[in-house]
Chains A and B, each alone.
Chain A
Amino acid sequence: MIRKFLLTLGLAAACTTLTAQAETVFVTLEKDNAIAVVDPIAGKLLKTVNVGQRPRGISLSVDGKLLYVATSDDNTIRIIDTTALKEVGQLPSDKDPETFALSPDGKKLYVSNEDDNLVTVIDVAAKKAVKQIKVGVEPEGVAVSPDNQWVASASETTNMVHWINTQTLEIVDNTLVDPRPRALTFSPDSQQLWVTSEIAGTLTVLDVKTRKILKTIKLTVQGVTAEKIQPVGIVIDKNRHFGYVAMGTANRVAVINAQTLAVEKYLLVGQRVWNLAFSPDQKRLYTTNGISNDISIIDADNQKVSKSVAVGRYPWGVVAKP
């Protein structure tokens, strides 16, 4: 009986280890023209795979089998098999794709074309651009609401968020935000849109229904000058308990209570933290630290940075695959 119990326990432990080990983190390395493959549990860089010129935005397909990587200087989005780590196709992103967003059903991909002031809509299955939407000057961040109703695009120079209806693919409304909006993300319940403004050092929370500003949060770190606070990437957990904002050259991730919209603490990570991604179980958070050439792993339960792992030059985007 005891033996049986121990055996079950052992098997369970083995399974847990296996599942835990199965997680893989992919990081685009802007300067190495490659993606880094990291085992986040062991905290080790497994390998680096060349993908194309200046890879930045990265996303995982809905089934987790494919990676979409924006190779900006090649003017294309490459499709990479996550197991074989080989290119299996390309998507016509038009010029200089930096960031893009995949619709929740995985059917459409929205790309920001910074130089042409466009958002290119791509039919993923057909691998064809279906529309180009004129937006403000220098569009950067782009996000699709989890309920697939809205695409939000932020223009860095126009300082605006453009609300695009996913059915008509037309701009319905615009909201003026703080200077140089860089990244945006919808809350998992599609009720809010969070936007970071790089120059202002703020996070603006918008109400999706009214498309008006709910709150603007000024991010400050004691001892860090205001110009170093350059918020970029944002993630919000699935229960909307906490949101995390990468603060660029302040080398911090702000932990924000997503209910009260108050900053709870700042976590010290590597230099010029750019983007963030959750582990599939949302127990960990990965940050790309552009200047220190590493990623930091944050234990989301304890809200503590557990490790930083060197990955390669200029880590930019990050995704985690189960």
Chain B
Amino acid sequence: MSLLHFLRAMWGIVGRELWRFIQQKERFISALVRPLIWLFVFAAGFRNTLGMAIAPPYETYILYEVYITPGLIGMIQLFNGMQSSLTMVYDREMGSMRILLVSPLPRWFLLICKLIAGTAVSILQAYVFLGIAWFYEIQAPIQGYFWILPALILDGLMLGALGLLLSSFIRQLENFAGVMNFVIFPLFFMSTALYPLWKIQESSALLYKLAMYNPFSQGVELIRFALYGQFNQDAFIYTLAAFITFIIAAIIGYTPSKGMMTRKGGE
């Protein structure tokens, strides 16, 4: 099998996912509506009109909308990661996954292709969201829009890998509601997406610890710093480590002889 095979398969999966995303206008719009409602409605209620205290990477006073923006980009990627896991379960139920898995290419490679595809879609969404936010006077330095790309790639991969790992556990589509309650909500609310760590610390030491060690927080911080042209090394290492852990676990989960597949009667 040559490299060409690999590339062709990758393009097949990534291209299909991007094409599907662009074609499905409703999905495109609904993926944007969620963070925009948070930005225009939720953030408006917590506006902090008199300014939020300065904490890195910010160098001056900001409104809450500015603070929440990287968190909402994280949310886009979180939902996207979970959505790809949902499609995996759906594909499995519908049997279309079989077509993918009978390909002679190694399974880990196919999973990674799927992951890249999901990440590419989430990056597209994130940039469109940032574009809309720009007109809402949420403007980062120009170079930040370039530096955010690698952060989006890593964060997208990490959350996508988490989605893949979860999908290896979920037997039926109905169980996805559980993912919503037990994964998305805790990850999102116990993070720095909505409130800075120092503010969480004021209310609860436990919540502070949970938020700090939440990989979603670290991903959001990586994005937040990158958007202001800064590199948050700790967040980078943490996000990278989380990605590696999740992807390895997901690959094991999808390996017929070892993972969850055997328990579920295989695919």
Instruction: Enumerate chain A interface residues (CB-CB to B < 8 A).
Output: 43, 221-224, 228, 250-251, 268-271, 292, 296-297, 304-308
Chain A interface: which of B2-10, B59-67, B90-98, B186-194? B59-67
Chain B positions within 8 Å of A297 at CB level:
60
Most A CB within 10 A of own CB, among B50, B59, B62: B50
Interface residue tally for chain B (C-beta within 8 Å) = 11
Instruction: Kindly state the separation between the CA atoms of A271 and B51 in the bound complex, as whole angstroms.
Output: 8
Choice from B49, B59, B62 contacting A224 with Cβ under 8 Å: B49
A233 to B251 alpha-carbon distance, docked (Å):
64
Q: Which one of A221, A222, A271, A308 contacts B60 once the chains associate, using CB atoms below 8 Å?
A: A308
B171 beta carbon closer than 8 Å to chain A: no
Most buried by A among B51, B54, B60, B62: B60
Which chain A positions have C-beta within 8 A of B60? 268-270, 296-297, 305-308
Complex Cα gap A251–B53 (Å): 12
Give Cα A222–Cα B62 distance, bound, in whole angstroms: 15
CA distance A87 to B139 in the complex (A): 45
Give A308 to B61 CA distance when docked, in angstroms: 8
CB < 8 Å neighbour of B50 from A222, A271, A307: A271
B107 at the interface (CB under 8 A from A): no
Q: Which residues of A contact B62 (CB under 8 A)?
A: 268
Are B59 and A269 in contact (CB-based, < 8 A)? no
A250–B60 CA distance with the chains assembled, in angstroms: 16
| In contact, B61 and A307 (Cβ under 8 angstroms) | no
Using CB atoms, name the residue of chain B closest to A250: B50
A296's nearest neighbour on chain B, judged by CB, is: B60
Shortest A50–chain B CB gap in Å is: 27
Using CB atoms, name the residue of chain B closest to A304. B139
- Interchain Cβ contacts under 8 Å between A and B, 12 examples: A221-B49, A224-B50, A250-B50, A268-B62, A268-B63, A269-B60, A270-B51, A271-B51, A292-B61, A306-B59, A306-B60, A307-B59
Interface residues of B in 21-80 (CB under 8 A from A): 47, 49-51, 54, 59-63
Nearest B residue to A302, CB-CB: B139
Q: What 13 new A-B contacts, CB under 8 Å, besides A251-B61, A308-B59, A308-B60?
A: A228-B50, A251-B50, A268-B60, A268-B61, A269-B60, A292-B61, A296-B61, A304-B139, A305-B60, A306-B59, A307-B59, A308-B54, A308-B61
Expressed in whole angstroms, the Cα–Cα distance for A308 and B139 within the complex equals 17
Tell me, rounded to whole Å, the shortest Cβ–Cβ distance linking A238 to chain B: 25
Which positions 125-145 of chain B face chain A at CB distance < 8 Å?
139
Closest chain-B Cβ to A272's Cβ sits at a distance in Å of 10
A251, A304, A306, A307: the one contacting B51 at CB < 8 Å is A251
